[in-house]
Amino acid sequence: MTHIPTDSAPDIPAAKVASSSAPLQLSEEHHLCPGCGHPVAWRLLLEVISELELERRAIGVVGHGCYTNIVRLADVDFLQCLHGRAPAVATGVKRVQPQAAVFTLQGDGDMASEGLQEVLHAAGRGERITCIMLNNGVFGDTGGQMTAATVVGQRTKTSLDGRDPASHGHPIPVADLVARLPGSVYVARGAVNNAGSIARTKRYLRRAFELQMEGAGFGLVEVLTMCPTGWFVATPEGPDYLEDRFEPTFPVGELKTA
Amino acid sequence: MSTIVTRGTVVIGVERCKGCELCIPACRPGVLEMSSEVNRSGYRYPLLRPGCTACRACHAVCPDYVFEVYKFDEPVATEIRDSPGSEQ
């Protein structure tokens, strides 16, 4: 079977409909594992910031995790703070720079395990910030330990036989908790395991930023991402693992809309 | 012989690919397949057969920013000698 050369742009009339780099992306190189979902979420975030023309107003606050590499890849201002404290730092940024588009980028280890109170209090206060949690159910950056969002039965480095509620407790659905608080105006949970989910997740992120810029209040977008390394699965199995194991515990969709 | 209509194409950054294969099931017309050769990092990478629709699904799912997608102004018809994988 003949393959088509794919090393350069076509030599017949054609329009480029997708660039390899997102807007504001400085590099396409990153050292995240094969099959990781985080870089897809990064791209959506940068596309949304660009499409809403927030390039000069966006300030990101990141916690600690694999996703923190975005600070090296993106032409956006970032602060890194103590593990789990991003919503508190973002609160301060937004209060002194109310015109800024302030967002946090955190993992489930960062937001649910290390800093659950920070996100709940920020939502409770109704801070006009957008928090983004990339949820893959593991502390990927430190080697794949169990987090508060690890789903029941999930194997991690610290739950090798699968998370057992009798000894490990139950996962904490952060988005559902935040949605219950009157201070939050927009809460959604998306995923990056297929093209349709990715398009929906981008809409959620866009809506959260739009509401922040309208001054409406606190927004949270949780994004389920694949971590085949931490899940001990082959990379092609990541998307189905996410759907079969994560989505029953963390259903995707908008949980609260303004 | 059969005719395949190709509406677009992709440029593949082979050396950035980490061989995760997420693009293979994502490709709606099913025209991507993994190479048997490996890139400098030791990963197999996607190859393109005729029939791309420029739907951008590969671009959407790729974690390594490998794909650039082009839509042809006019679709191109390719005559294919029947071989495994070419039938729809």
pLDDT tens digits, one per residue of A203-212? 999 999 999 9
Asked if A32 and B21 come within 8 Å (Cβ–Cβ), the reply is no
Residue B83 lies in a domain: no
Q: Which CATH class is domain A38-68+76-196+206-256?
A: alpha beta
Give the mean model confidence (pLDDT) for residues A197-217: 98
**Contacts for B66 with CB less than 8 Å, ≥ 6 apart:** A20, B12, B13, B14, B16, B17, B23, B45, B46
Spatial separation of the C-alpha atoms in residues B48 and B61, rounded to whole Å: 16
Residue B87 lies in a domain: no
Any idea how long chain A is?
258
Q: Provide, as residue numbers in chain B, all residues whose Cβ is less than 8 Å from the Cβ of A191.
A: none
Range of the domain at B68: 2-75
Mean confidence (pLDDT) of chain A: 97
Identity at B18, one-letter amino acid code: K
Nearest CA in chain B to A2: B49
**Distance in angstroms (rounded) separating the CA atoms of residues A186 and A188:** 7
B78 pLDDT band, cuts 50/70/90, is confident
* Domain tally, chain B: 1
Percent of all residues in chain A with a pLDDT value above 90, rounded to a whole number: 99
**A1 pLDDT exceeds 50?**
yes
Of A1, A9, A21, the CB nearest to B83: A1
For residue B45, being part of any structural domain is answered with yes
pLDDT in tens, A54-65: 999 999 999 999
- List CB contacts (< 8 A) between A6 and chain B: 9-12, 14, 47-48
Confirm whether B88 is domain-assigned: no
Residue B14: give its domain's CATH number: 3.30.70.20
- E strand spans, B1-88: 2-12, 32-34, 46-48, 67-80
Whether B16 contacts B54, CB under 8 Å: no
> Which two structure tokens, joined as six digits, stand for A58?
């966006």
Confidence of residue B80 (pLDDT cuts 50, 70, 90): confident
In a domain, B11, yes or no: yes
- Chain A residues with CB under 8 Å of B18 CB are 33-35
CB distance A132 to A104 below 8 Å: yes
Give φ, ψ of A41 to 5 degrees. -65, -40
Choose the closest CB to A35 out of B54, B63, B68.
Answer: B63
Give mean pLDDT, residues B63-71.
Answer: 98
Cβ-Cβ contacts under 8 Å, B8 against chain A: 14, 17
Question: Two tokens at A60?
Answer: 């990101």
B86 found inside a domain:
no
Q: Do A36 and B63 touch (CB under 8 A)?
A: yes
pLDDT (tens digit per residue) in A156-186: 999 999 999 999 999 999 999 999 999 999 9
Q: Which amino acid is at A48?
A: V
> Which whole number is the average pLDDT over A121-133?
98
Token pair for A54: 């927030």
Q: Which residues contact B35 (CB under 8 A, 6 or more apart)?
A: B44, B45, B46, B47
pLDDT higher than threshold 70 for residue A39: yes
A10: Cβ–Cβ under 8 A, 6 or more apart, which residues?
B9, B70, B72
| ipTM associated with this complex | 0.94
Angle made by CA atoms B1, B4, B6, in degrees to the nearest 5:
155
> Cα separation of B32 and B23, whole Å?
7
Residue A119 contacts residue A111 (beta carbons within 8 Å): yes
First to last CA, chain B: 13
Token pair 């677009």: residue: B8
In this structure, what DSSP letter does residue A8 have?
A: S
User: Residue B23: inside a domain, yes or no?
Assistant: yes
Say how many C-beta atoms besides its own lie within 10 A of residue A99's C-beta.
Answer: 8
B68: in domain? yes
Can you name the residues that pair with A61 across neighbouring β-strands? Answer: A79, A104
Among the listed residues A172, A177, A170, the one whose alpha carbon sits nearest the alpha carbon of residue A220: A177
Q: What is the residue type of A109?
A: G
Q: Where are the domains of chain A?
A: 38-68+76-196+206-256
